[in-house]
Amino acid sequence: MISQKHRMIMYGVTVLLLAVAIVGYAAFPVKAPEEPIRLMYHTNAGKVLFDHQTHASALGFALSCTDCHHLHAGEEIEPVSCAMCHPPRPSGMEIPESCLDCHMTDEIEDPQIMKRSDALHEQCMSCHEHYGKGPSFGPDECAKCHVM
């Protein structure tokens, strides 16, 4: 049998360890990465998981951000989301002020701008073909990237 004194010591140690854990968790929070580790694209054809680590260093070569996130000639700003330029823009997403420094609103809303889904398909497929890595693409091979 455990005495009352031993039980109180165990409770005290438990409470002390819990307090140390809470203080340690609060004092040393995990820093969010500067770039997303994984992105989940929700599409009409199912979800597509994109993993930066797999697509950059793990494939045996190093890609820079601008290999995928293209900038217009002469720009030295950080790459922006595809949805900023390629329609359809999510509801509530405003055109950034930096775009309006060089472009007129009607120019940004031009129907000739490639749809986001077409731009992503072209970007993914051309990169996979160029480097010869990852899935091959064909008319019936959507499930290699898209999961329901």
3 state SS of 6: helix
Domain count, the chain: 2
- How far apart CA 97 and CA 111 sit, in angstroms, is 20
pLDDT of residue 33: 67
Q: Are residues 65 and 86 in the same domain?
A: yes
Radius of gyration of the chain (CA): 25
Q: Are residues 49 and 22 in the same domain?
A: no
pLDDT of residue 72: 57
Q: Are residues 119 and 66 in the same domain?
A: yes
Report the CATH number that the domain containing residue 80 is assigned in CATH.
3.90.10
Q: Are residues 24 and 93 in the same domain?
A: no
Sort strands 146-147 and 46-51 into parallel, antiparallel or unpaired. antiparallel
Beta-carbon count within 10 A of 75 CB:
12
**Cα angle value 89/86/135 (rounded, 5°):** 115
Q: The tokens of 9 are what?
A: 């010591």
Domain span at 24: 1-30
Beta-bridge partner residues of 49: 40
Q: What is the pLDDT along the chain (148 residues), one digit of tens a residue?
A: 689 999 999 999 999 999 999 999 889 877 776 666 777 877 777 888 888 777 766 566 666 777 777 665 555 656 667 777 777 777 777 776 667 767 777 777 777 778 888 888 888 888 888 777 777 777 777 888 887 6
- Nearest to residue 98, comparing CAs of 86, 89, 85? 85
Q: Are residues 49 and 25 in the same domain?
A: no
Q: Are residues 71 and 8 in the same domain?
A: no
Distance of CA 36 to the CA centre of its chain: 4
